[in-house]
Amino acid sequence: MRPVKVVLTEKEMPRKWYNIAADLPHPMPPPVKPDGKPIKPQDLAPVFPMNLIEQEVSRKRWIKIPDEVLEKLALWRPSPLCRAHGLEQALGCPVKIYYKNEGLSPAGSHKPNTAIAQAYYNKVFGIKRLCTETGAGQWGSALAMACKLFGLECKVYMVKISFEQKPFRKMMMNTWGAECVASPSPTTNAGRAVLAEHPDSPGSLGIAISEAIEDTVTSKDTRYSLGSVLNHVLLHQTIVGQEALKQFEKLGEYPDVVIGCVGGGSNFAGISFPFIHEKITGKADKEVRCVAVEPEACPTLTRGPFAYDAGDVAMMTPLLPMFTLGHAFVPEPIHAGGLRYHGMAPLVSHVLREKLIEATALKQIECYSAAVLWAHTEGFIPAPETSHAIAAAVNEARRAKEEGREKIILINWSGHGLMDLVGYEKYFAGKLVNLELPEASLQASLKCLDGLPKPPAL
């Protein structure tokens, strides 16, 4: 039998998170207020606990993972590094394809890696209840699970259209004891204002964020929690790439290309930043390429400008230095709900400016086709988000064949698609379309950046 996976023991789990902020060639511009003044840590205190704010602004290279966090992560970690022999054979290209299977977590994606850590830090800070928003429900279910494990209450504002179309994610949240309401809801000022004007509003991530933050700052012992974008979230995901480094060491191999899909940027950062660390410090004997893959319908890294922009429509968040399509941008309803975000993690944006990573955008149908090939050859049914990383790996493999070069490819397999089968059904029925963003729509959306402060050049 050919070896299929490299498994680490619990004892071999990484004990520290890797903070790439310590190693950036140029420092990142700070988050600012609309007047251009930098945000101070105390400004964030009503929204996040101070121990997570400290991580958010930390420049320490290695941050210890608390034992209580490791113990919960060990419920499914370390995740296996698997070799996609079946896919390789189907492609017939001179490549080895490996993937970190993050779909084996209780909620089915990489998101519990940070949900567990965030619930823990809030718990030890004395917080009793967390509020958050969720689009398709991946993040809401991950946080619901983590809150229950640490004895916190959890309230999730779920974008109404998904609440109605994807009842199973809501049922998962309820099973883990969380309260999940459709957003816009009649329970917050932000929600009531939207409902007064549009009683049938399908909701949006921007509205749901505004509701969750309002609930947080008006409730006792409550804080807000975000599933991507922020520095501390990306930090918590670096356990994935560090495990992969150990697993490649056991194999005696090293990847040429590391691939992850990007919504807010956390799973891509989680797998790639530890490899970028080796690249920056000259530890690797190979020049690894890191490729972020986004949908053509929401092409933040490939077509958006680098600017200061808000994380939500109501502009309740600080202005973050990032590639953005404009906070008023409403992406087309592609099935990869987790990739429909107008902005990008400032750290991922920064390493792209530093040319430490590459970005590419793919069409929805090409991604479904790759996802189905994956299910037929590797068994697991990927999430629509994950299908973008798979399609990019297939393209890399075909290019290797054209160029007559051997290549080792590593994918962050960010989650399973067992709650997203409606997209597959539409794909099989020929009802999916490719939704490329017209230049005129992009330019119209970017108008909302007029008058905002501009980040300095590198």
Ligand X SMILES: *Cc1c(COP(=O)(O)O)cnc(C)c1O
- Residues contributing to the site for ligand X (CB under 6 A): 109, 111, 138, 228, 261-267, 338-339, 383, 385-386, 414-415
CB of 365 to ligand X, least distance (A): 18
Q: Is the dihedral of CA 145, 148, 152, 155 positive or negative?
A: positive
* Residue matched to tokens 């494990």: 149
Q: Estimate the crossing angle of helix 386-403 against helix 364-378, to 10 degrees.
A: 80
CB of 92 to ligand X, least distance (A): 28
Secondary structure letter of residue 65 according to DSSP: P
Helix (H) or strand (E) holding 63: strand 62-64
Between residues 109 and 247, which has the closer beta carbon with respect to ligand X?
109
CB of 109 to ligand X, least distance (A): 4
Between residues 296 and 385, which has the closer beta carbon with respect to ligand X?
385
CB of 134 to ligand X, least distance (A): 9
Between residues 72 and 236, which has the closer beta carbon with respect to ligand X?
236
d(CA 217, CA 194): 19
Q: Residue 58 has which token pair?
A: 């930390």
Q: Which amino acid is at 146?
A: A
CB of 390 to ligand X, least distance (A): 11
CB of 292 to ligand X, least distance (A): 9
Give the chain's length.
458
CA atoms within 13 A on the CB side of 56: 26
Between residues 98 and 400, which has the closer beta carbon with respect to ligand X?
98
Q: Residue 318 has which token pair?
A: 């600080």
d(CA 344, CA 46): 24
CA 189 and chain centroid, separation: 29
Between residues 93 and 389, which has the closer beta carbon with respect to ligand X?
389
CB of 266 to ligand X, least distance (A): 3
| CA nearest neighbour of 301 among 338, 337, 350, 372 | 350
| Contact (CB, 8 A) for 110 and 267 | yes
CB of 381 to ligand X, least distance (A): 12
Between residues 191 and 321, which has the closer beta carbon with respect to ligand X?
321
CB of 348 to ligand X, least distance (A): 8
Q: Which residue is nearest to ligand X (CB)?
A: 415
Peptide bond into 41 cis (omega under 30): no
Between residues 131 and 226, which has the closer beta carbon with respect to ligand X?
226
Q: Residue 178 has which token pair?
A: 């969380």
| CA nearest neighbour of 256 among 384, 339, 351, 358 | 358
Between residues 265 and 455, which has the closer beta carbon with respect to ligand X?
265
Q: Which amino acid is at 317?
A: T
Between residues 244 and 400, which has the closer beta carbon with respect to ligand X?
244
| Contact (CB, 8 A) for 337 and 329 | no
| Contact (CB, 8 A) for 82 and 379 | no
Q: Residue 93 in 3-state DSSP?
A: coil
